[in-house]
Structure 1
Amino acid sequence: MRSGRGLLGTARRGAVARLAAPRAWLMSRFFLPRRVGRTARLRYAAVLDGQTVNLHALLPHSVPLPERAAVVLSRGGRRHLAEARVYRGPAGELLMDAAILMGEEVGGIPAGPGRWKLGLRTYTGGRSRSVALLLLEPPVPYEGPTKPMTVSRFTGARYRVGRTITGTARIVSSAPVPAVEVSKVHMSHAGTTVDFQVLGTEADRPWVEFVAAGRQIRQPAQPLGPGVFRTEVPLERMQPRSARPEHWDVVLCQEAGPPLRLGRRLHDVRNPRRVFAMRSMAMTPVGLTPMIVQPRYTPAGNLRITCTRMPEAG
């Protein structure tokens, strides 16, 4: 049976999909034609590294070359300014470039969750002028081994470029989803060590569980810094009980809050299993039969450690 929250989310997505076509028609046929000559047109707008918004725009002929300029992010009564560069192009046209770092935690714009409209403000002497930033076409995902990075690898916050129904560009900021991001996996003949960072939630007296079919190993989570932990598991405790491979999933548990799988999700690669592949190792725990240990990431990005008896071990 589906939860009330799940049904509400499905209904909301259905309503958004039904409104998409008439919204696009209204924008392209009514609002955009009336604004093109009076606004700065964004030729490029994208979030490249998960938290830096890159903008390139063509300004209208009515705007003179200013002494300085800034991109304005506004939402309700709140405003934030980010430095912009306005200059003459090769044909004499006026162009604008800006790279806006998002996130107070990394020294950027403290724009919390919500939709932030983008505008341009130019300054000459003691006078200023505001120009709307128009996004005619939304960003198109590119092909290749990587994809656009829309999640901050430092905070887990999400940023994407969008536009209002009138075509004004905006940044949609979303709070980080609770997750546990693996930063390092180290294997030795003594055991497996995993370093990880907890994002989007406060870890409440956490511990780590290595879970296989019918088996469970509870290990401490040792703090290394704010939100950063390390866990270790001895290999002798992961010895397979039969000739069949045993697959161990790694889960962060805490006193309050749901368990969270350890994995790698804050990346921009399309094939994480291949890019983040780790070599297998033949191990012989003291007093036990040899085995092969293979850490890897599942298609969903979860960390999984597979332990298999060596064929000659019987």
Structure 2
Amino acid sequence: MTTSIAKHATSSGGTEAVPRGPRALFAALRLRLMLRLFVPLRKNRTAQLRYAAVLDGQTVNLHAVLPRSCPLPDRAAVVLRRGRRRHLAEARVYQGPAGELLMDAAILMGEEVGGVPAGPGRWKLRLRMYTGHRCRSVALLLPQPPVPYEGPTKPMEASPITGARHRVGRTVTGTARIVNSAARPAVEVVKVHMSHAGVTVDCRVLGTRVDTPWAEFVAAGRRIRQPVRPLGPDTYRTDVPLDRMEPRSSIPEHWDIVLCQETGPSLRLGRRLHDVRNPRRVFAMRSMAMTPAGRTPVIVQPRYTPAGNLRVTCTRMPEAD
């Protein structure tokens, strides 16, 4: 039964991947109910979104066609509603080439970046139109969810400023909504400074607070504790201890960097807030030959793993073997 319902929902225009098991049955029933009942019933009474996506991790872009019964308003706004809380964002309604009314909106999310102060949760979307002293509102219907695209880049999954996550979804009746989530605990690499004198790493903490942290450089069977110094709110710098990272053989040694604290979890340094599919290739850094004081020369190569973790590879200079 689950398989047949899932197939029917997909053939009816749904593009969402439905997992197997009890959740698959619920998701397939929900999708079938939406596409076969609610969307057709509400089609002529709602503004239908032709495009809805979060492109930069924090700006919701909307484009919709309005019902024929709507007059051209003097001004319009998109209403974000969750329970009794409401926020308004400016929208533009205009006449299209075929005489239809169209709506465009770009909603910046997050009070920290000067946008809509909508916190975590599911926020339903409606279009409110003003003509003189009259006001009319219609729901924003999302017949099709955003479709992921292929290529070297992907949609931003989180705000590059705050780390908060925003995605476009829809209710069981097809109404569009924005689902906001707080930033996941992470340590984002801000900059890697390389010179012949050494390597330093700047990072910022997202989604959590750390108390008197320190850095640990971890390789196979080795662990080096290194102090960090604050640069600003939740921003820190640490020096790479190259004088203690000399390879024990001709085999390169790979060092991961972890931000630690006494009472909270340890977090690995990396780059998470980006839209590239291959951070190792796109964020590539040059290698450099360095000679720590009193040590043999080594080749130092900071790089990012496919998962986005920062890793420092140290290799003995061939002449040193």
User: TM-score if structure 2 supplies the norm length?
Assistant: 0.92
1:40/1:132 contact within 8 Å kept: yes
| CA–CA distance in structure 2, aligned partners of residues 79 and 14 of structure 1 | 37
Structure 1 match to 2:158: 151
| CA–CA distance in structure 2, aligned partners of residues 250 and 75 of structure 1 | 40
| Residues 175-203 of structure 1: CA deviation (Å, up to 9, x unaligned) | 11100000111122222100111000012
| CA–CA distance in structure 1, aligned partners of residues 150 and 238 of structure 2 | 37
Out of 239, 248, 257, the residue aligned to residue 241 of structure 1 is 248
Structure 1 match to 2:280: 273
Structure 1 match to 2:320: 313
Q: Single out whichever of 12-21 and 148-157 deviates more from structure 2.
A: 12-21
SS of alignment partner, residue 152 of structure 2:
coil
SS of alignment partner, residue 21 of structure 1:
helix
| CA–CA distance in structure 1, aligned partners of residues 216 and 176 of structure 2 | 45
Structure 1 residue 67: deviation in Å? 0.6
Q: For the structure 1 residues 15 and 256, does the alpha-carbon distance in structure 2 shift closer, same or farther, using more than 3 Å as the test?
A: farther
Structure 2 match to 1:44: 51
Structure 1 residue 233: deviation in Å? 2.3
Out of 209, 224, 239, the residue aligned to residue 232 of structure 1 is 239
Out of 241, 260, 266, the residue aligned to residue 259 of structure 1 is 266
| CA–CA distance in structure 2, aligned partners of residues 208 and 13 of structure 1 | 42
SS of alignment partner, residue 43 of structure 2:
helix
Alignment of 1:33 with 2:40, yes or no, is yes
| CA–CA distance in structure 2, aligned partners of residues 245 and 13 of structure 1 | 44
| Residues 191-234 of structure 1: CA deviation (Å, up to 9, x unaligned) | 21001110000121111111112222222221111111111123
1:190/1:234 contact within 8 Å kept: no
Letter in 2 for 1:312: E
1:190/1:235 contact within 8 Å kept: no
Structure 2 match to 1:58: 65
Q: Single out whichever of 236-245 and 27-36 deviates more from structure 2.
A: 236-245
| Residues 224-269 of structure 1: CA deviation (Å, up to 9, x unaligned) | 1111111112321211122221111100011221000000111100
SS of alignment partner, residue 224 of structure 1:
strand
User: Which runs of structure 2 are paired with 1:62-141 in the superposition (5 Å)?
Assistant: 62-141=69-148
SS of alignment partner, residue 38 of structure 1:
coil
| Residues 80-121 of structure 1: CA deviation (Å, up to 9, x unaligned) | 000000111111110100000001111111111111000000
2:49/2:65 contact within 8 Å kept: yes
Out of 165, 170, 174, the residue aligned to residue 172 of structure 2 is 165
Letter in 1 for 2:58: Q
Letter in 2 for 1:217: I
Number of aligned residue pairs: 303
* Unmatched 5+ stretches in structure 2: 1-18
Alignment of 1:293 with 2:300, yes or no, is yes
| CA–CA distance in structure 1, aligned partners of residues 126 and 242 of structure 2 | 57
SS of alignment partner, residue 142 of structure 1:
coil
User: Which runs of structure 2 are paired with 1:209-220 in the superposition (5 Å)?
Assistant: 209-220=216-227
* Unmatched 5+ stretches in structure 1: 1-11
| CA–CA distance in structure 2, aligned partners of residues 13 and 74 of structure 1 | 32
| CA–CA distance in structure 2, aligned partners of residues 197 and 167 of structure 1 | 39
| CA–CA distance in structure 1, aligned partners of residues 252 and 275 of structure 2 | 31
| CA–CA distance in structure 2, aligned partners of residues 204 and 154 of structure 1 | 22
2:198/2:290 contact within 8 Å kept: no
Q: For the structure 1 residues 296 and 58, does the alpha-carbon distance in structure 2 shift closer, same or farther, using more than 3 Å as the test?
A: same
Letter in 2 for 1:226: P
Out of 24, 30, 52, the residue aligned to residue 23 of structure 1 is 30
| CA–CA distance in structure 1, aligned partners of residues 26 and 52 of structure 2 | 24
List structure 1 runs of 4+ shifted beyond 4 angstroms. Answer: 12-15
1:156/1:177 contact within 8 Å kept: yes
Structure 1 residue 286: deviation in Å? 2.5
Structure 2 match to 1:4: none
RMSD: 1.4
User: TM-score if structure 1 supplies the norm length?
Assistant: 0.94
SS of alignment partner, residue 305 of structure 1:
strand
2:34/2:173 contact within 8 Å kept: yes
| Identical amino acids, percent of aligned pairs | 79
